Structure formats: C-alpha cells, structure tokens
Amino acid sequence: MSRQPKHLAVAGATGAVGIEILKCLEQRDFPVSELTLLASARSAGKTIPFRGKEVTVKELTHDSFKGVDVALFSAGGSISKAFASHAVAAGAVVVDNSSAFRMDENVPLVVPEINPEDVKTHQGIIANPNCTTIITLMALNPMHHAFGGVKSVIASSYQAVSGSGAQGIYELEGQVQAIAKGEPLPERKVYSRQIAFNVIPQVDVFTDNGYTKEEMKMHYEGRKILHAPDLKASVTCVRVPVYRSHSVSVTAIFNDKPSVEAARAAIAAAPGVHVIDDPYADIPVFPTPLDSTDGDDCLVGRIREDLVLENALTFWVVGDQVRKGAALNAVQIAELL
C-alpha cells in the first residue's frame, strides 16, 4: 500500500459501521492527511474522537467532497444513490457499503482476500458485499480453489441484531430488560416479531420466488465475487438474539471430491480466516459468534463430509458483521487503492 496520506471522507460517520470504520482506520494506521466526517443535518455539529483529536461532523451535501481522495459510504442505499456520483465527480473514489451498486456491471464487488484484482476495474465506485456473503465466502473461497470450483451452496444464516444497526441492538436490549423485570415489552420498531429469546426467519422483504432479498444476495454476489457465473445458492436468513457477529451453516457442492483434511489445510493457508475445529476434544472445539466479535478474522469449524450430497462438505463459519462484514472490508478496499 502506498503510504502517501489521503483525504478521507466517511458518509454515515455517526452510525455503527461509520464508528467502526474510524476504529479500523486508527488500528490499521491508515495514512490520513485529512478526515471529513459526514452525516445528516441532525448529527451535524457532533464530535467524534479520532487519533486523539475531536473531529466535528458536517452535514452531508452534494458539495461535501472537494479535495477528497476516498469516500467511505455507510449511510444506506438511498444516500449512496443520491451522493456517490457527486463524490466521484469531485475526484474521489467511493467505497460503498450499501446494496446500491453491488450488481452494477460497471462496479467491482470486492472482498480483498478473494478478488483484490477487481479493484483495478473501478470507474469511481467500488461496492462492499453483503455481510453474510463476505463471511460465507471467506470460508468457502479456499475450498472453491482446492476442489475444482464450487457448484452450489445451501446455507442458513444466524444473523445478529447489529445487522439492523444500533436500533436493532436497542430493541433486543429493551425487550430483554422488560422480560427480566416482568414488565410489558416496549413497542417494536425494528422487527416484525419479538426478537428477545426468539428467532425470526426473515431478514429482508420477500421476493416473488419466496426468498428474501437478503437470501438472494449470496446467490448473485457470490457469482460476481468468485467469478463463478453458474453458482447457485439456496439460503435461509434468520435473525437471532445475538448482539454482534453473524454465523452461517453451509453445505457446499464442488466439482471435485473434497476431503475434510484438505479443506482444513486450504483454509489454514488463506488470509483472514482460521480453522477452529476439534469435535473430539474433551470439550468440543468450534467457533461461536462471541469468539469472532471485535475480531478481524472469520472462524470456521464443524467441517465434515455431507451425508446426502456427493462432492459436498458441510461447515460452520462465524464473523463480526460490523467489522469484517462491513467496516473492515471497506477499509481494506481503501488500502488496495
């Protein structure tokens, strides 16, 4: 990475992912010459600490990007659609966390450990994939290369409330506290059902085929990231009462016959992902969401040959949704630039 300092802008700086982006920039010693923090008018004037100084948040406008080299967007798809083009016109490269540009054929969709070369094709905007897609592919990609390519995926995700932003966390906390005190539950504002002590098999709106938009993201985004146009994915996304870090149970079918030992070796040799898998220990070893929380790497366990499908392995992967699933991946893309 070039160490020439850059003028960075963060759009959505006061949100959970925006705050995590700032933490990643600090921890990874990203060379920042100037930092512009942008948010809605109601957040303008707030200050956020960065490298020992307080940085004042400014209102996001079409004129916010003069002199900016890289603009990291984490304010939602409608904001990205409204403002990303203005950032590009001002000379910035946009790294966008929303779904606004992911399937645009002119916008690379990048996980730096998997397809870093795609960054070179950008025309001003680079898209950050869906969090569940990132976490799943971090485990799947080494096996994809080891076993002649992945043909199809069947997966169920167990997604933390952090995926809904800070309001999802507040709703879970409020319900847990109310139940503990024997009080009525507060009004639901985020989820269609009670999330405390419950699971909700819907993370997004339903499409015509019965899958949700979230579930279809792995199907389409996986094809683009892995350069595997024939990949098929059948996914069920579930919201669970976990504050942070997503988990995914995956069955992957490959062109060549896989083995558990070769899969472990392939994952162990890959960056950003680790095997934690010893089912026969006195206390069986496997990763949980808490093990990955606040960590950069995705963790893989429960690797086993599938008993139903040929040339298939089943495994479990966890990763911090706010970090590798969003903020860290965006900062890593900025590093590639």
CATH number for the domain that contains residue 211: 3.30.360.10
Q: Are residues 139 and 288 in the same domain?
A: yes
**Predicted pLDDT of residue 1:** 44
**Total of domains in the chain:** 2
CB atoms within 10 A of CB 152: 16
Mean pLDDT value across residues 8-27: 95
**Banded model confidence at residue 220, pLDDT cuts 50, 70, 90:** very high
Q: Are residues 332 and 317 in the same domain?
A: no
Under DSSP, is residue 326 helix (H, G, I), strand (E, B) or coil?
Answer: helix
* β-sheet with 273-275: strand ranges across: 232-239, 150-159, 246-254, 312-319, 298-305, 273-275
**Banded model confidence at residue 166, pLDDT cuts 50, 70, 90:** confident
> What confidence tens digit (pLDDT) does each residue in 106-149 have?
999 999 999 999 999 999 999 999 999 999 999 999 999 999 99
- Are 203 and 166 in contact, with CB atoms under 8 Å apart? no
Does 39 fall in a domain? yes
Under DSSP, is residue 267 helix (H, G, I), strand (E, B) or coil?
Answer: helix
Side-chain-side CA neighbours of 265 within 13 Å: the count stands at 8
Does 242 fall in a domain? yes
Q: And the tokens for 320?
A: 């911090």
Cα 16-132-23 angle, rounded to 5 deg = 30
> What confidence tens digit (pLDDT) does each residue in 289-303 have?
999 999 999 999 999
**Predicted pLDDT of residue 21:** 96
Q: Are residues 115 and 150 in the same domain?
A: no
Q: Are residues 151 and 123 in the same domain?
A: no
* Structural domain harbouring 16: 6-128+326-336
Q: Are residues 114 and 137 in the same domain?
A: no
Q: Which of 7, 122, 144, 246 is catalytic?
A: 246
> What confidence tens digit (pLDDT) does each residue in 234-289 have?
999 999 999 999 999 999 999 999 999 999 999 999 999 999 999 999 999 999 99
Rounded to the nearest integer, the mean pLDDT of the chain is 96
Let me know if 24 is a catalytic residue: no
Does 101 fall in a domain? yes
Q: Which of 131, 144, 237, 298 is catalytic?
A: 131
**Predicted pLDDT of residue 80:** 96
Instruction: Residue count of the chain, please give it.
Output: 337
* Residue 2 clears pLDDT 90, i.e. is over it: no
Does 121 fall in a domain? yes
Report which DSSP code applies to 290: H
Does 16 fall in a domain? yes
Let me know if 246 is a catalytic residue: yes
Q: Are residues 161 and 294 in the same domain?
A: yes
- Are 320 and 244 in contact, with CB atoms under 8 Å apart? yes
Q: Are residues 216 and 164 in the same domain?
A: yes
- What percent of the chain stands above pLDDT 70? 99
Q: Which CATH number fits the domain that encloses residue 95?
A: 3.40.50.720
Does 205 fall in a domain? yes
Q: Are residues 185 and 112 in the same domain?
A: no
Q: Are residues 299 and 331 in the same domain?
A: no
Mean pLDDT value across residues 194-219: 96
Q: Are residues 137 and 21 in the same domain?
A: no
Does 43 fall in a domain? yes
Report the C-alpha gap between 107 and 333 in whole angstroms.
Answer: 13
Q: Are residues 64 and 138 in the same domain?
A: no
Q: Are residues 96 and 181 in the same domain?
A: no
Q: And the tokens for 336?
A: 């590639």
Does 1 fall in a domain? no
